[in-house]
Amino acid sequence: MPKSIEIVEPLLRWWDHDHAELPWRESRDPYAIWVSEIMLQQTQITTVIPYYTRWMSRFPDVGTLASAPLADVLKLWEGLGYYSRGRNLHAAAQMVMAEFDGHIPTTVSELLRLKGIGRYTAGAIASIAFNQPEPVLDGNVIRVLSRLVDLSADVTINATKKQLWQLAADLVPQQRPGDYNQALMELGQTICLPANPKCLLCPLIDQCLARQRGTQHERPVRPLRKRTPHYDVVAGIIWQTAERSATAP
């Protein structure tokens, strides 16, 4: 397994020079980071940007969101899809006001109590907003880590997911964990692509075992989709006309 320092230093150098400028990266406001992470679930960055901008203008803080009617929240979410995300944000904001005195929790264990926040989102908020060395693991990070260590196990099974979470936790640095996690995710989005990875542009090319072994196109390993069987069927129609016999008088 690669050492953390072997991964962190080149990755952060790349991040400092090449990372994308996005509106939610303009501050370390935990509320802004939370909103962006929820919106980015199953939605492209380019789609999220205008929704995020409008949202932060209408609901600039957790208190404003918590006190807003749900109908207003869903109206602003309209067109973004997966409306349960908007409902969960609203419910979680009310929980923050009621149970955390209006302060967004700082630890993963407390963040996980909020509706709609799973392990990945909790780790992202804790590391980016509160500088805590917590790991993240989404599809992009799974792909990067699987290639980095040339993982030959099926990443969809629980045992492998547990292994990947542990690897992510072992690699996340004490210093700048939020930047590191964002760099890892952006690397998967822009360089370590599923079909045609841009290996020659990757800051981790020297550390990537899959690249060294020529298996990068085979990682991560997922089960083959079962093909729907196709049968050629020929159907015929037999049309039978009954003849009426005439009896002579």
Instruction: Write out the catalytic residue numbers.
Output: 37
| Structure tokens, 99 | 């149970």
CA R_g for the chain: 26
- φ/ψ of residue 191, rounded to 5: -120, -55
- Residue type, position 44, single letter: Q
d(CA 80, CA 82): 7
- φ/ψ of residue 221, rounded to 5: -85, 130
Task: Tell me if 216 sits within 8 A of 147, measured CB to CB.
Answer: yes
Helix (H) or strand (E) holding 243, with range, is none
d(CA 47, CA 5): 35
d(CA 146, CA 98): 41
d(CA 249, CA 243): 19
Task: Tell me if 8 sits within 8 A of 183, measured CB to CB.
Answer: no
209-227: buried (b, 16+ CB within 10 Å) or exposed (e) per residue? bbbeeebbeebbbeeeeee
